[in-house]
Amino acid sequence: MKETKQWGKFSRWAAVGTLSLSLLLGHVIPVKAEGPVTVPQISPWSVSTLNEGEKYGIFPPQWYMDGTFQKAITADKFNSLMSATATKLDQLGFKKKDSTLSVVHSGKEAITRESVITSFYKLLTNYELPETFAVTTDTSLDYMQKQGIVQGNGSGLGLSNPSTVEQAAVIATRLIEFAYDKADSGAEGLMWKVTNEKNTLYLFGSIHAGITDMYPMHKSVRDAYNTSDELWVEADIVAGDMDYYAQTMLYKEGTSLKDSVSADTYAKLQKVLTKLEIPAETFDVYKPFAISSTLSSLYTYGTFEESQMAQFHGVDRYFLTSALLSAKPVHELEGIKFQADLFASVPAEKQEKELNALLDAFLSDTDRDEAGEQLKQMQLAWVKGDQAGLLKVLTTPEGSAESDTNKLLFGDRDKKMAIKLAELLEREGENTSFVVVGAGHYVQKGLVIDLLKEKGYTVEAMQ
């Protein structure tokens, strides 16, 4: 079957979606090699800052790959960056002094580093800012340096030199983080502090599929992470062995999906693939749970591109990448092998049953909008630190996990997690750990938080 233009683009992406997203929505995307992989153009000095900025939605990750990231910024990219930064600042709710202020660059002259600094300063100070921003009669450069938005001094700043895309993106990122911190704003998330003598755990509830509204996170969250000695996650989806998970999704050589499910199920899958403009043989070597994982993501987001962006903004990935960049030790509560085996252990007939339910939903478009809306409600509740709101979505008939696969996600796993966390709290000496686990494991009654309380530890909600 000839590939559609749409699938040709998607086939360049990673072979397996992140495991953490699979636990909530999940997907696996088969891949075909299409030439060498483009290496991102990012300088060592900027990479940690840009790990923040790329989550804000102020520039697309594709900018890293287009060959111009470390070259002079064009008027189109600069204006796009300014507009997106303004949108992010608008969300703080400050009134503007001049609603007609424009910082659009005409492109007739080179955009220098000084003009970038001045433009962002004008953008910020056009809001009626509270005293915490400490805006005085300083020049734009002096103010931006004092606040750490511009780093360095003297001739090393090269103010008259053209600004690169990278340099402008870094300034924009620092400006947003500074503004949100001074406004005491940012995504609250869900965090608990658990203590025992000199040991401290910061338990942070993750949403595995994210949106730009979830960044920047509130300074209290970032401070808790930064002061922690180590990061604990369910499974390391950044540096872990994802090949094992990929292999559990596949049938052994000589066996295929067509041989393993009913003719009706296979025919139904073909109808869905035709509807999605995906080649008919795409999932022939994959087990039903892997196909359900992919299609449930498509059912929620509509396109592979939107699904990929949700993964990109996932909380687990954010902290794992941050730890990788800062060499913070990362440990797993469960590990990829455990979670992969968990899904693969679902009996084949139950996997096929759940796949059929999803295929029927695709063909009838039943509740498709509701699925996306419920995820959005969950994400926004998380942004507000609204534990009750998040719990409400998780426990509604539509949002609760009633399938055989999803029943594996809670219960015994939580007891084992609580035992491991108790071991951390009983260590000798003084230890501080930041623990990122799916928010459902924390907010639901009888799970991790309640289990730690039952063990006699001091548990304090940080909202």
Q: What are the structural domain ranges in the chain?
A: 47-182, 190-461
Angstrom distance (rounded) from CA 181 to CA 129? 13
Can you give the length of the chain in residues? Answer: 463
Task: Identify the segments of the chain with pLDDT beneath 70.
Answer: 1-38, 366-368, 396-408
Question: Which tokens in the block code for residue 155?
Answer: 């001739």
Q: How many CB atoms lie within 10 A of CB 131?
A: 7
- Please provide residue 182's backbone torsions phi and psi, each rounded to the nearest 5 degrees: -70, -30
Q: How many CB atoms lie within 10 A of CB 258?
A: 14
Burial group, residue 236, by CB count within 10 angstroms (0-12, 13-18, 19+):
buried
Angstrom distance (rounded) from CA 185 to CA 412? 37
Span between the terminal Cα atoms of the chain, in Å: 54
- What confidence score (pLDDT) does residue 142 get? 95
Angstrom distance (rounded) from CA 12 to CA 35? 9
Residue whose C-alpha is closest to residue 171's, from 136, 114, 120: 120
- What confidence score (pLDDT) does residue 367 get? 65
- What confidence score (pLDDT) does residue 12 get? 25
141 within 8 A of 117, measured Cβ to Cβ: yes
- What confidence score (pLDDT) does residue 36 get? 57
The residue assigned the tokens 């005293």 is 131
- Please provide residue 333's backbone torsions phi and psi, each rounded to the nearest 5 degrees: -75, -35
Residue whose C-alpha is closest to residue 308's, from 68, 39, 12, 36: 12
Helix spans in 365-457 (H): 368-384, 387-395, 404-407, 412-425, 440-443, 448-454
pLDDT in tens, 404-428: 545 567 778 899 999 999 999 999 9
Burial group, residue 419, by CB count within 10 angstroms (0-12, 13-18, 19+):
exposed
The residue assigned the tokens 């049938």 is 251
Amino acid at 451: L
| DSSP per-residue string spanning 266-301 | HHHHHHHHHHHT--TTTTTTB-HHHHHHHHHHHHHH
